[in-house]
Structure 1
Amino acid sequence: MSKKLTVADKRQDKCIACPYDPLHRLMPERFALHLIRCAKNHPGSKMVRCPFNNTHLFSSDTLQHHVESCPDRAYFVRYTTPDKLPLPGPSTGKFFVESAEDWDAEPPAPTYNPEDHCRESFVIRNPQGASPSARRQFREQERRRFIENNKF
């Protein structure tokens, strides 16, 4: 006699049963989309949606009891009556941190100019938007510059 062992999926305990068909077990993030699709397969069901959360579906008999005890009702009440919210606690006040750094002072290094860097570092450059004769002349100048400085 052999025993069959089943390994439960770690996500299995997070699944929610579909109100239309309890055999449908879904992850919470897929539940809302499933309800839309599953409702099309059960057009004769008398399920009514909760006004506070569209994923709460109940029969019309039990809806009144659910609306009174719905956990999402608190969000609606808080939204409709913001003046009855508890007042925020006293502010802690502003504080100032002493520092020797001056972020407004100019940096000691000069700004970076990419053209100057390429000209001084012997980077191969390609003139953009120039005519063919101007490109030819530029390449000749670059060859001379590289040869004069023994970089070619």
Structure 2
Amino acid sequence: MADINSADPEDLVTCPYNKAHLIRRKKFQLHLIKCRSHHPDSKLLKCPFNLCHMIPEQEYSMHIGSCPDRAIITNYKNIEEDNKRKATEVSTQPKNDSEEEDWDNSEEDTKESTKTFLESKGYDPNKKINSNDIILPLNGYLPAQRRKIREDQLKNFESKRSRRD
């Protein structure tokens, strides 16, 4: 029997819940989910580094210290911490005044344009649809809902035609 971490997906692995179960490595995670539901009273705990490792409660703390997949996670965390440290070092460096962008606007101009944009109502698609004779596709609605919407659209179109005449 090969261990769980070997490269060949066709290797057979023994189920931790039932030693009579021999499973191909590529199907092992799915089997663990199914077998776990059949053994709810089992005293096996999941390894935080590899969910295919199911460890008895007594051996759990020893496994956490010696898990072969622990190195992968700790290495990843170290790389992540190095990247964070480098990012803070870069952001704390002083900026050169010559590199600042002017964009030919003063702060007052940008504040005024922001106010007018926020105060504007913007585009309202429902208003546009209601103001024109547009029939929308009604995919996803139930037949009764489609019928009701079509009736409302026809009433709306007829009232607009009567106003034009």
TM-score norm. by structure 2 comes to 0.42
* Bigger Cα Rg: 1
TM-score norm. by structure 1 comes to 0.45
The structure whose residues are more often helix, as a share, is 2
